Amino acid sequence: MPSSLVFRFSALAVDYHEGNVTFHELTNHWIYMAPDITSESDYSIPAIEAGTSGRVNGLAIDWLANNVYWVDEGYNWIKMTNYNGEGEVTIADMGFEKPSGIACHPHKDFLFWTELGDQYPPKIERSTMAGNNRITIVDGLTEPRSVAVDTILDRIYWTDNTAAEIKVESSDLDGNGRRIEVSEPKSLGVFDSIAVDETYIFVSGSSSEDFMRYYRKVSPNLLVFEYEFGSEIELYDLCVAGPNIQSQPVTSPCDGNTCEHYCVSAANNNHECLCRDDYVINPNGTCSIDKSIYYPPYCVIGQTDAISSFDPTILHHDWLSFHGVDAYIHNLFSGSPPYGTTALVVDTHSNLLFLADDLGKEIFVVKVKGGEFSVSIHKYNTGQIEGMAVDWLTLTLYYVDYVTESRGSMKYDGNDLTTKYDVTKPTAIAVDPFARYMFWTEETSPAKVVRSDLDFTNRRDLADIGLQKPTGMTIDLKLNRIYMVGSDSRLIYSTDYDGNNKQTIGTSKYAAIDITSYQDFLILAEPLGIFSGMVEAIHKPTGEHEGSIMLDSFVSAIAIADESTQPRTSPLTIQDDESENSGLNIGAVVGGLIAVIILIVIVIVIYKFGSKGIYSFRFKRSKENRRELTENDEHDNNVFIGDTNRPAAARPAASPANIKPPQQPITNVEIRETTVVFIAGGIARPSNIP
Q: What is the pLDDT of residues 46-88, one digit of tens each?
A: 889 888 998 999 999 999 999 999 999 999 999 999 999 998 9
* Strands, sheet with 426-432, edge to edge from the N-terminal-most edge strand: 426-432, 437-442, 448-453, 460-464
Among 652, 612, 648, which residue's Cα sits nearest to residue 630?
Answer: 612
- Type of residue found at 61: I
Q: Would you say the C-alpha torsion 36, 39, 44, 45 has a positive or negative sign?
A: positive
Give 205's contacts (C-beta < 8 A, 6+ positions apart): 159, 166, 189, 190, 191, 192, 193, 211, 213, 235
pLDDT higher than 50, residue 165: yes
Among 189, 198, 205, 180, which residue's Cα sits nearest to residue 240?
Answer: 198
> Residues 8-41: pLDDT tens digits?
788 989 999 888 899 998 877 889 998 766 555 5
- pTM, two decimal places: 0.81
Q: How far are the Cα atoms of 223, 236, 324, 366 from residue 51, in angstroms, in the given order?
A: 40, 20, 17, 28
> Residues 300-342: pLDDT tens digits?
999 877 888 999 988 887 666 556 677 788 887 655 555 689 9
Residue scoring higher pLDDT (349 or 686): 349
CA atoms within 13 A on the CB side of 610: 0
- 283 by Cβ neighbours in 10 Å (0-12 / 13-18 / 19+) ranks as exposed
Greatest alpha-carbon span in the chain: 90
Strand, coil or helix: what is 640?
strand
Q: Determine the Cα angle at 355 with ends 468 and 324, to 5°.
A: 80
Among 575, 298, 565, 343, which residue's Cα sits nearest to residue 433?
Answer: 565
Q: Kindly state the percentage of the chain with pLDDT values over 90.
A: 52
Distance CA 29, CA 521 (A): 15
Give 349's contacts (C-beta < 8 A, 6+ positions apart): 392, 563, 566, 568
Strand, coil or helix: what is 315?
helix
Return phi, psi of residue 204, to 5°.
-120, 155
- Type of residue found at 481: R
Among 265, 254, 246, which residue's Cα sits nearest to residue 130?
Answer: 265
Q: What is the mean pLDDT of residues 447-464?
A: 96
Q: Is the distance from CB of 599 to CB of 233 less than 8 angstroms?
A: yes
pLDDT higher than 90, residue 218: no
